[in-house]
Amino acid sequence: MVRCWWLAGLLVACAAAEPPLRWEPRCRQQLRHLQDGARIAARLPPRLEGRWVSTGCEVRPGPEFLTRSYLFYANRLFKAYQFYYWDPSCRDPSYSLVIKGKLRLRQASWITRGATEADYHLHKVGIVFHSQKAMREVATWINQTSGEGCSGFLPPGRTWAPGALYELLSAKTERDCTAALGFAMHELSLVRVEKHYQPLLQPQQSGSRLVEELYLGDIHTEWVERLHYRPTGYQQPMQSAVHHMHPCPVCGIIYRADEHHPPILPVRAQLPMQLSGSWVSTHCEVRPAVLFLTRYFIFHGNNHTWEGYYYHYSDPLCKQPTFTIYASGHYTQGIPSSKVRGGTELAFKVTQAQVTPMDQVTVMMLNSSEPGSCGLTSSWSAGVEQDITPTNGCLALGIKLPHTEYELFKTEQDMKDRSLLYIGERPTDGSSPDSPDKRPTSYQAPLVRCAGASEEFSNYVSLKYLGKKDANGSEALKPLPVAFLSFIALLFLR
């Protein structure tokens, strides 16, 4: 009996000793992984040579459904394919664009940290129609909206000829009929290449494989603005045709495609909209106007309430925090979108919010804000959370309470059978989708489910940046309570 109590005492002593036993939920693990910038390398200027392909069916504002395949040569010339579709699964092609030109990398961007600015010049743009319907629709756009040089681009009644290539733009003849399609290649004016290593998936294998991702400039959410918009954020990344994530059957399909043989992506099962649980960013995200952030959401399906954490940073690796926003409220039952096939429309009411400044620049900005517009006047300090609900939000950060946002959601499964959540893309001008006519028609970077409804822990102390700091200045995880471990020890002895 003495030995048993000696064992219990030993367990309690171990519980109280340093270093503490650690408990780290999957969502916390994912956020910690995102902050490990050593896993990602970004060279300036980037090396673009080679072919880059989409990893799935992309959705642009409009909506437009497309896949991309871009080839960059060592002599700075490029040849790009853009394949457009009628459907959100990219299985019913409409038309394909062949874009040829030249790209010159310039200096590191003064606006978007980690990016390189570039100039491009288009030599030719050709179009191949994949149905009579597509030909008739595009011809109508061009004949109605283009200038004199394009009015007879395709005479009415022209019969569709499979495989025929029609010239939309030519630098030699100075003809440009691309505006009617909302076409521009301004995405090439902002470039970033990231490299990281993916662990090999097979249990019997060790090591990792190189993955390269190409980030190009974002597309403006307003159709009329996209022709002259200069990007400050990114689209979903393309991946190297040689060094890409595995498995990626779509990569090979798009790599082998051309304007006459557009890629037909594999059938994917439609998932019901199941929001309940916790969702977290898959990488450090970049938004227009130079916002670097990661997101973490918890949805409570039983009462249709939600919580969201927005972690903002000053660098493209999300290692230097500036401020955190915690928001909560409730959401409506979703209905299928009539405008964006495959999407679900919801309305989100934001009723409460707290802000935690994480650096002195943000502290100074909040303390100099107009009295009564953002929390208690001149009371902000780094690392201390403050409720901004009593002041109806925070004018300095553009937060208004309460308010409603009209959203677009979509869920999918990736090739690793992980559940992904796509939330509507924020307006490029920084406004809020606060009316039905401003509801998004495209999506942000996906979130991955990190916990199911039964695993929800909404009050992660670590997610609010509280607690001790470790030797590297990062927040240490909380040790399990000694009383709790003592209880376990006694149960074990019993």
Numbers of helices and strands, H then E, in the chain: 6, 25
Question: 172: how many CB neighbours lie within 10 A of its CB?
Answer: 7
Q: What is the mean pLDDT of residues 407-428?
A: 91
Angle at CA of residue 397, ends 395 and 398, nearest 5°: 60
- DSSP characters for 142-191? HHHHS-GGGTTSS-TTPPP-TT-EEEEEETTTTEE--GGGT---GGGGEE
Q: What's the alpha-carbon Rg for the chain, to the nearest Å?
A: 26
Report the DSSP beta bridge partners of residue 213.
194, 239
Distances (CA, A) of 122 to 102, 126, 224, 339, 351: 7, 11, 21, 32, 49
User: For the residues 153-179, what does the mean pLDDT come to?
Assistant: 85
Structure tokens at 139: 């011809």
More confident call, 245 vs 19 = 245
> What span, in angstroms and rounded, lies between the C-alpha atoms of 335 and 223?
25
DSSP 115: -
Whole-angstrom distance, CA of residue 245 vs CA of residue 155: 45
For position 325, what pLDDT does the model report? 97
Tokens representing 8 are 């219990």
Tokens 């001149």 -> residue:
378
Can you list the pairs that 366-373 forms with residues at least 24 positions away whose Cβ atoms lie under 8 Å? 366/394, 366/396, 369/394, 369/395, 369/396, 370/395
pLDDT at 260 over 80: yes
Kindly report, residue by residue over 309-331, the tens digit of the pLDDT: 999 999 998 999 999 999 999 99
Question: In which band, very low, low, confident or very high, does the pLDDT at 246 lie, cut at 50, 70 and 90?
Answer: confident
The values of phi and psi at residue 94, to 5°, are -105, -60
Residue 409 tokens, joined: 């959601």
pLDDT at 171 over 80: yes
For residue range 91-134, list pLDDT tens digits in order: 999 999 999 999 999 999 999 999 999 999 999 999 999 999 99
CA distance 468 to 15: 17
Distance CA 275, CA 452 (A): 9
DSSP class of 491: H
Higher-pLDDT residue of 427, 30: 427
- For residue 486, pLDDT over 50 is answered with no
The pLDDT of 294-298, averaged and rounded, is 95
Mean pLDDT score of the chain: 85
Contact call for residues 250 and 268 (beta carbons, < 8 A) = no
Q: Which residues pair with 309 in a beta bridge?
A: 296, 326
Instruction: Kindly state the percentage of the chain with pLDDT values over 70.
Output: 83
Which neighbouring-strand residues pair with 71?
51, 79
The reported pLDDT for the residue numbered 200 is 74
Rounded Cα gap, residues 424 and 9, in angstroms: 54
Global pTM value? 0.85
Please give the pLDDT value at position 207: 74
Does residue 427 have a cis bond before it (omega within 30 degrees)?
no
Give the count of beta carbons closer than 10 Å to the beta carbon of residue 29: 12
d(CA 349, CA 345): 14
Phi, psi of 487 (to 5 degrees): -60, -40
Give the model's pLDDT for residue 483.
43
Prior bond of 262 cis (ω within 30°): no
Query: Does residue 462 have a pLDDT over 80?
Result: no
Instruction: Read off the pLDDT of residues 27-57 as tens digits, 9 standing for 90 and up.
Output: 888 787 776 655 788 888 999 999 999 999 9
Q: Which H helix or E strand runs over 47?
A: none
**pLDDT one-digit tens code per residue, 65-82:** 999 999 999 999 999 999
What is the DSSP annotation of 388-444? -TTTTEEGGGTEESSEEEEEEEEEEE-TT--EEEEEBPPPTTS----SGGG--SSB-
Alpha-carbon distance of 205 to 211, in angstroms, equals: 17
Distance CA 135, CA 140 (A): 9
Residue 117 or residue 22, greater confidence:
117
Question: CA–CA separation, 448 vs 200, rounded Å?
Answer: 20
pLDDT for residue 463 is more than 70: no
Q: 179-236 pLDDT, tens per residue? A: 889 999 999 999 999 998 887 766 666 678 899 999 999 999 998 899 999 999 999 9
Q: How is the chain split among helix, strand and coil, in percent rounded to 5?
A: 20, 35, 45
